[in-house]
């Protein structure tokens, strides 16, 4: 079954859309996306510097998370782990911004991702600070070069809760949607 990510994402509410991207994520593409996001943010009116910077931080971490952790896709029936199709949307709301990402994950990753987000969602601002410092100082790097700090830092910067869902797409493949709320001051 062909997966039409564009169709799935376009069915979402896009009121207040500031930026959107649907396609393959690569290292070069990250640079382009971040440049575009930054350019868009500069054109927005009444966004204070702090919110602007936080949006960019959240953008960097979440887009790099997509690059490192998104599942590859089947292309003409052949699995290619290096082709990672993702979607990104930034919406402006009455309270601030919503940063939404979509990527594919295999079923075996779902429980681990959900547990991670649920546990971070329960932490207070002070808990997050202590947790961040503890992980920062644990001298451990993942095989993908990450330090396990991405989601903690996003939660610190966003000061809002994550919401997420997994939608079964085909056998052993789900679409993971993550929404990060960034409140303006």
Partner 1 sequence: MEAIRIEGTPKTPSVSFDAYKGLLEIKGRSIPENSIEFYKPLIEWLDVYGASPAPLTTVDIQLEYFNTSSSKCILDVFKKLESIYKNGHEVVINWYYEEDDEDMLEAGEDYQSIIKIPFKMVELEG
**Nearer of residues 53 and 95 to partner 1, judged by Cβ:** 53
Q: According to DSSP H, which parts of 79-167 are helical? A: 107-121, 125-136, 150-158
Tokens of 58: 């959240």
Kindly state the smallest distance separating residue 70's Cβ from partner 1, in Å: 13
Query: Half-sphere exposure of 72 toward its Cβ, with a 13 Å CA cutoff?
Result: 10
Alpha-carbon gap, residue 13 to 133, rounded angstroms: 37
**Nearer of residues 6 and 129 to partner 1, judged by Cβ:** 129
Interior/surface letters 38-53, b for 16+ CB within 10 angstroms, e for the rest: eeebeeeeebeeebee
Residues near partner 1 (CB under 8 A)? 27, 30-31, 34-35, 49-50, 53-54, 56-57, 60-61, 64, 67-68, 129, 132-133, 136-137, 139, 141, 145-147, 149-150, 152-153, 157
Kindly state the smallest distance separating residue 166's Cβ from partner 1, in Å: 24
Tokens of 112: 């681990």
**Nearer of residues 4 and 139 to partner 1, judged by Cβ:** 139
**Nearer of residues 4 and 185 to partner 1, judged by Cβ:** 185
């Amino acid at each position: 079954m062909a997966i039409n990510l564009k169709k799935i994402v376009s069915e979402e509410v896009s009121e207040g859309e500031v930026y959107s991207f649907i396609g393959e994520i690569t290292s070069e593409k990250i640079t382009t996306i971040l440049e575009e996001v930054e350019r868009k943010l500069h054109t927005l009116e009444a966004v204070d510097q702090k919110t602007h910077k936080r949006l960019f931080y959240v953008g960097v971490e979440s887009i790099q998370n997509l690059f490192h952790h998104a599942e590859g896709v089947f292309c003409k029936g052949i699995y290619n782990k290096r082709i990672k199709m993702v979607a990104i949307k930034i919406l402006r709301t009455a309270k601030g911004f919503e940063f939404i990402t979509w990527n594919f994950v295999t079923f075996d990753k779902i429980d681990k991702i959900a547990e991670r987000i649920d546990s971070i969602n329960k932490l207070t601002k002070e808990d997050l600070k202590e947790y961040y410092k503890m992980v920062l100082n644990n001298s451990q790097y993942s095989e993908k070069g990450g330090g396990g700090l991405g989601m903690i830092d996003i939660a610190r910067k966003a000061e809002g809760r994550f919401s997420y869902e997994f939608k079964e797409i085909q056998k052993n493949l789900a679409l993971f949607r993550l929404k990060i709320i960034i409140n303006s001051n």
